[in-house]
Amino acid sequence: MFAGMTCCRRGAADSEPEKNREMGGAGSFVTQQDMGDTYQPPFESCVLDGNVASVMCSYNQVNGIPTCADPNLLSGVIRGKWNLNGYIVSDCDSVEVFFSKQHYTRTPEEAAAKALLAGLNLDCGMYLGWYTQGAVNAGLVNESVIDNAISYNFATLMRLGFFDGDPRKGPYGNLGPKDVCTGEHQALAREAARQGIVLLKNTPGSLPLSPTAINSLAVIGPNSNVTKTMIGNYEGIPCQYTSPLQGLTAIVPTTHAAGCADIACNAPQLDDAANKAASAGATVLVMGADLSIEAEARDRVSISLPGHQEQLVTVVANASKGPVILVIMSGGGMDVQFAKNNPKITSILWVGYPGQAGGAALADVIFGYYNPSGRLPNTWYPESFTNISMTNMNMRPDPSTGYPGRTYRFYTGPTVYSFGDGLSYSNFNHHLVSAPKSVSIPLPPTHPCRSSNCTTVAVADGICKNVTFQINLRVENAGKMGGSHSVLLFSTPPAVHNAPQKQLVGFEKVSLTPGAKAVVKFNVDVCKDLSIVDKQGNRIVALGRYALDFGGMKRPLRVSI
């Protein structure tokens, strides 16, 4: 019996603005190249590497076809190419949406038939329940298609032990509320929050603060004493909350001023906040967002701090006598270039939505009980990036129009902070132990590239399987504080087929006490890790000179045949 099944949600370019996601005519128009190297790989990895039991198709259309009615996607790719061992489910009411709002079909019965024939197995909604019988009666779909869809659902139920009798006799049958809020689980919530905190700026002498040297801490900002905000949406019921103010107050005496009534910050109370900061030994500003501006069906239209938050931060920083720590609580990135450039703001932390123990975790980091090791999961763009249409799904830049591209792999414009950024209270040194200068892909004598000047080799040919190499890197904690450190390995491929300017190959995390050393090993599969995608969506390995970037070090690598 399994404790549960995992699901990959909303495949195939579900990135258009929420206000248009259900409307016909908007949709997502995606090139085969972008589909193959950006939009599909995360879901492919879920199925092939994660062995998920379910994949969810999204509301939107991709290239004119609703994803939940696309046989090439559902049956051809997910069920066929990836060999999903489970069921395909719609996002809730997606079948209804592509009939009633996108007008993709003329009748609800036709919508039910289109979804089933495409390979949908389960409808999160009512349309299959209401209209499948009518679709059968109208000859739009055969019962055998329905039987096939149901078989995947029941197979999953069998794997879950649904038909194995009294669930109380199973290994998980006696789990209940008493097993949720154990000390171990609450410690895990705190540890997860600590590991997720990213230190983006830290002026020497700022963080960590000394709990014995700080006699008063000003805690300011609309997110400084929040609780539910910390758990985001699609949330569970927390065991208890520790707000930022509560976490910090548990360590040192604090004074508090929200500074704004809410994150909209339309009428900041500047004087009160500035006075409290002026009389404190250090100041922590907890700013950012909440679900009122970023959530499902609620996209941000600006990536600057909302309302007058920037003004509040600047006024408080100017009034402060000691270190000023800016904490951003948000799901996405923020344009905080003003704070990055302001010497009065000595440190910047991003905490995401850190969960029930977020305030305790934040205090652990600020006072040095935990050495931050988080890295940004996405690039933070300047506010000018919002001038780009959200419906432009192209990854690659277009110099003719000034379009800068998207993500660290292709974006050519200015950034506030980049994917993978993150500081520590320790200095970690890197020394290359071993790495190859070249690697060769063995080809049979009859391969066309033996007699022609090929610049790429097709992965589909199967000729570069098991072509691997290893990179060994010695990491030393040269600081005075123990901590964890993540080494990110990037590859810059030859400039063919509009290849990415760089892409993440892998990462390894190591924990080291002061002065300790360890060897980090990267096992690189040439076909899987270094391959790119051509304009037709075919995965290929470019031949020629690569640049490998790891731990701030660069190493050339030549791939040949």
CB 129 within 8 A of CB 123: yes
Task: Name the residue with tokens 């499902």.
Answer: 296
For residue 128, the SS3 value is: helix
Phi, psi of 146 (to 5 degrees): -65, -45
* The two three-digit tokens of residue 456, written as one number: 């790429």
Neighbours of 2 (CB within 10 A): 12
Q: Please report, as a single letter, which amino acid is at residue 37.
A: D
- Rounded to 5 degrees, what are φ and ψ at 430? -125, 140
Look up residue 416 and give its two tokens: 């506030």
How far apart CA 325 and CA 219 sit, in angstroms, is 10
Q: State how far the Cα of 385 lies from the Cα of 393, in Å rounded to an integer.
A: 14
Distance (Å, rounded) from C-alpha 25 to C-alpha 554?
46
SS3 140: coil
CB 16 within 8 A of CB 390: yes
Buried b (16+ CB within 10 A) or exposed e, 445-459: eebebeeeebebbbb
Instruction: Name the strand (E) or helix (H) holding 486.
Output: strand 483-492
Edge-to-edge, what's the strand order for the sheet holding 483-492? Answer: 438-440, 553-560, 544-550, 483-492, 503-512
Q: Which residues pair with 499 in a beta bridge?
A: none
Secondary element (H or E) of residue 488? strand 483-492
154: Cβ–Cβ under 8 A, 6 or more apart, which residues?
Answer: none
Integer-rounded Cα radius of gyration of the chain: 26
Which helix (DSSP H) or strand (DSSP E) does residue 195 occupy?
helix 183-196
Two tokens at 35? 């589909």
Q: Which residue has the tokens 């924990």?
A: 511
Q: Which residues contact 366 (CB under 8 A, 6 or more apart)?
A: 207, 208, 209, 248, 284, 325, 349
Q: Any idea what the Cα angle at residue 261 is, between residues 259 and 264, rounded to 5°?
A: 100
Sign of the torsion formed by the C-alpha atoms of 74, 75, 81 and 85: positive
3-state secondary structure of 274: helix
Is the CB of residue 13 less than 8 Å from the CB of residue 28?
yes
Q: Please name which of 41, 57, 51, 167 lies closest in space to residue 459, comparing C-alpha atoms.
A: 41
Asked if 261 contacts 222 with a C-beta cutoff of 8 angstroms, the reply is: yes
The C-alpha angle with vertex 13 and arms to 10 and 18, in degrees rounded to 5, equals 75
Q: Which residues are catalytic, by number?
A: 91
